[in-house]
Amino acid sequence: MLALPAPSLVDILKEELSREFAALKSKADPAPYYMAYEVTEEQGESVSASFGALVNSGQQHARGLDTTIRVGSPEFDNYHPYKGSRGQFTSFAPLSLDDNTNQIRRAVWSESDRVYRLASRRFLQLKTDEQLLADEREHDADFSAEPPAVYSRLPETYKYEAGAWQDRARAWSAEFKKYPRILASSVVFRGQREIRTLVNTEGTAVQVGNNLFRIEINGTALASDGMDLGNFSTIEASDPAHLPSDAAVDARVREVAGKLDALVDAPPAEPMVCPAILSGRASAVFFHEIFGHRIEGHRQKDITEDQTFTKMLGQKVLPDFISVEFDPTRADYSGVDLIGHYEYDDEGVKARPVPVVEAGVLKTFLLARSPIGTFTHSNGHGRRQPSFEVVARQSNLIVESSKRVSEAELRARLIEEVKRQGKPYGLYFADVSSGFTTTGRQGTQAFKVIPLVVYRVYADGRPDELIRGVDIVGTPLASFQKILATSEKSSVFNGYCGAESGSIPVSAVSPAILVSEIETQKRQNRQEKPPLLPRPETE
């Protein structure tokens, strides 16, 4: 039998795409004007351990298809936002892991049929509804024009020694055993290779991908008054050579565990309005949650959103020594891998750096192929988790400051500000958590930041005092306008951000910041009772 070279995934998709598009354009009413297929393949390993014992060890490999069909015209199509909805058409249809032509073509055909029906139904409904929207102002076009792209770069493949990683996870998680007051804990290692293959009817054919390695360290405990406490830390890399040594991870586990144990004895927070320093990591999370989400393009179009920044284009939104840029093209910052890095977004648009704030002034938003006002083109930030529809999302958020001082100087200024305001102390936020940092690819915790490790900084020379249960009151957006100075060095925070288009990897880079005012209160205490029997020690 003659062995012919098997067609590649890109070939199969392109062929089926043109067949579908031609047939629908000639026979369907309403006819599509644009179609795209994006196949995401994820292959990974994960290992998790708790208190020295393995809890989970598995391999995952899956491949699926997301389908985009647009009917109508770029000015008005089935994705037109209406009453806070943009339509949900795609679902992650499973595809054969090997390039099996038959299965892939069938799955593509079946999905295209299903998505077409949903698209045409919504489009026809919108056309009727639109007539009822008597007072809709001039609306933006629904789809922008972008040049096609042809590109291919597959990520490296790494072989895993599952046994070695299981042993590491066991050893690292065993560190928690030294702290008997820690009730639950885990150390998880995940390694994942993702490949995205995108073709569309404009001629785009892009195949890109990333590797991501992540170590997650997690612990929970109970204070004597029943307040539940937690501490959490992650380590990310795109290249396993960039993961820290086993000893360094060990040290990090000890740090998380030790801090959590100390929190058990720490006094609870009181309500307080005072100056504060947010560490580089904490600031990064803040900027991501409080600022980053507010400049995602789709929020500016949505009448149900709090459009804080929509009308502030060209105005000062941050102090004039602060600039913010989103740059997906950066793979690392000062030797730390940035996991929000990509070359082409999920609409096949080439990534590029986007200066969002220059010298405090808001210049633009993060944009996908959904035009807003004077912004008629995407800036390469159309992103999604498989099975979701694309919207503009964050990539690598980088905060730059022209008012940088040393750590010591920053601290001195904090104390100066505390004295000036006549407060008993200021606060130092060493570590915080949010929907951005928590594990599990779920949770849309946009705008919410949970302090984990916070200290009181006294003006009278007393040593810093760890406190627990700090809750930030209201949105600290106002605090950001009260940034007084920043540190010299920046820190990187990598994590998974959950929002309308699902969970995606992002990063944020920021120096430590000094703010003149932040308002905090004591977190509500659920008053859990500690275990009645002592922890089992030995046989």
Partner 1 sequence: MSRPAIFYIAAGCALAGAVLAFDAGEDLRTDTQLRAMADELARSKTLQLNSLDKPYFVQYSTSDAEQVAIRASLGGLISSEQTRFRSPRVDIRVGDYKFDNTNSVFSRAVRIRAFPIDDDYLAIRTAFWLSTDSLYKIASDQITRKRNAVRELSDPDSTPDFALAKPIHMLRPIANYDLEQRRWEGILRELSGRFVGHPEIVTSAVAVRLISSTYRLVNTEGTAIRIPQDASELQIRATAMTPDGNRVWNHRFLTALRPSDLPSEPELQKAVDEVANETEALAKAPLADDYSGPVLFEQEAAPQLMAQVLTNAIALERKPIAPQESNPPRTIESVWSSRLGSKVTPDWISIWDDPSPQQFNGMTLVGTYEVDDEGVPAERVAIVDNGTLKDFLFSREPVRNFKSSNGHGRLPGSYGSEQAAFGNLFVHLSEAVPEATLKSKLLERVKASGLKFGLIVRSIDFPSTAGVDELQSLIRQAQKSGYIRSLNAPLLVYRAYPDGREELVRGLRFREFSAKDLRDVIAAADHPYVLNYVNNGSAINHADAGADATTSSVICPSLLFDTVDLARAESEPGKAPIVPLPTLSTLRSQPSALNEPALLRVAKIQRIPTHSQ
Q: Site residues for partner 1, window 52-81 (CB under 8 A)?
A: 52-62, 64
308 touches partner 1 (CB under 8 A): no
151 touches partner 1 (CB under 8 A): no
Task: Say how far apart CA 459 and CA 479 lie, in whole Å.
Answer: 21
Reduced to 3 states (helix: H, G, I; strand: E, B; else coil), residue 209 is strand
Q: Is the peptide bond before 7 cis (omega within 30 degrees of 0)?
A: no
Task: Say how far apart CA 389 and CA 412 lie, in whole Å.
Answer: 48
133 touches partner 1 (CB under 8 A): no
Q: Which is nearer to partner 1, 51 or 321 (CB)?
A: 51
Q: Which is nearer to partner 1, 389 or 400 (CB)?
A: 389
Q: Which of 181, 330, 325 is nearest to 258 (CA)?
A: 181
Tell me the per-residue interface mask from 236 to 265 with partner 1, x by CB under 8 A, - otherwise.
----xx-x-xxx------------------
Question: What residues have CB less than 8 Å from 113, skipping those under 6 apart?
Answer: none
Residues 192-231 that bind partner 1 (CB under 8 A): 195
Reduced to 3 states (helix: H, G, I; strand: E, B; else coil), residue 379 is coil
Q: Which window, 337-345, 392-400, 459-467, 530-538, contacts partner 1 (CB under 8 A)?
A: 530-538
Q: Which of 491, 488, 483 is nearest to 432 (CA)?
A: 491
Q: Which window, 124-132, 158-166, 319-327, 361-369, contacts partner 1 (CB under 8 A)?
A: 158-166
Task: Say how far apart CA 430 and CA 493 lie, in whole Å.
Answer: 13
Q: Which is nearer to partner 1, 110 or 315 (CB)?
A: 110
Q: Which of 521, 523, 510 is nearest to 436 (CA)?
A: 510
In 322-437, at which residue ranges do the beta strands (DSSP E only) sit?
322-326, 332-333, 336-337, 354-358, 361-362, 382-383, 391-392, 396-401, 404-405, 425-434
- Exactly one of 88, 97, 125, 424 binds partner 1 (CB under 8 A); which one? 97
- Exactly one of 89, 92, 326, 388 binds partner 1 (CB under 8 A); which one? 92
Quote the tokens at residue 222: 């109970």
Q: At what angle do helices 9-27 and 101-132 cross, to 10 degrees?
A: 40
Q: Which is nearer to partner 1, 106 or 350 (CB)?
A: 106
Q: Which window, 148-156, 265-273, 285-293, 306-314, contacts partner 1 (CB under 8 A)?
A: 148-156
Q: Which window, 76-84, 252-260, 425-433, 526-534, contacts partner 1 (CB under 8 A)?
A: 526-534
- Exactly one of 11, 19, 82, 268 binds partner 1 (CB under 8 A); which one? 19
139 touches partner 1 (CB under 8 A): no
Q: Which is nearer to partner 1, 4 or 132 (CB)?
A: 4
Catalogue the long-range contacts made by 474-479 (C-beta closer than 8 Å, 24 or more residues apart): 474/519, 475/290, 475/447, 476/286, 476/290, 476/449, 476/515, 476/518, 476/519, 477/290, 477/291, 477/294, 477/308, 478/517, 479/276, 479/515, 479/517, 479/518
Q: Which window, 80-88, 183-191, 263-271, 356-364, contacts partner 1 (CB under 8 A)?
A: 183-191
Query: To the nearest whole angstrom, how small is the minimum distance from the Cβ of residue 437 to partner 1?
Result: 20
Please say whether the beta carbons of 13 and 210 come within 8 A: no
Quote the tokens at residue 419: 């004295």
Query: To the nearest whole angstrom, how small is the minimum distance from the Cβ of residue 156 to partner 1?
Result: 5
Query: To the nearest whole angstrom, how small is the minimum distance from the Cβ of residue 504 to partner 1?
Result: 14
Query: To the nearest whole angstrom, how small is the minimum distance from the Cβ of residue 10 to partner 1?
Result: 10
Tell me the per-residue interface mask from 341 to 380 with partner 1, x by CB under 8 A, - otherwise.
----------------------------------------
Please say whether the beta carbons of 328 and 381 come within 8 A: yes
Residues 380-399 that bind partner 1 (CB under 8 A): 386-387
Q: Which is nearer to partner 1, 441 or 462 (CB)?
A: 441
Query: To the nearest whole angstrom, how small is the minimum distance from the Cβ of residue 536 to partner 1?
Result: 4
Half-sphere exposure of 379 (CA within 13 A, CB side): 22
- How many amino acids of this chain bind partner 1 (CB under 8 A)? 81
Residues 106-125 that bind partner 1 (CB under 8 A): 106-110, 112-113, 116-117
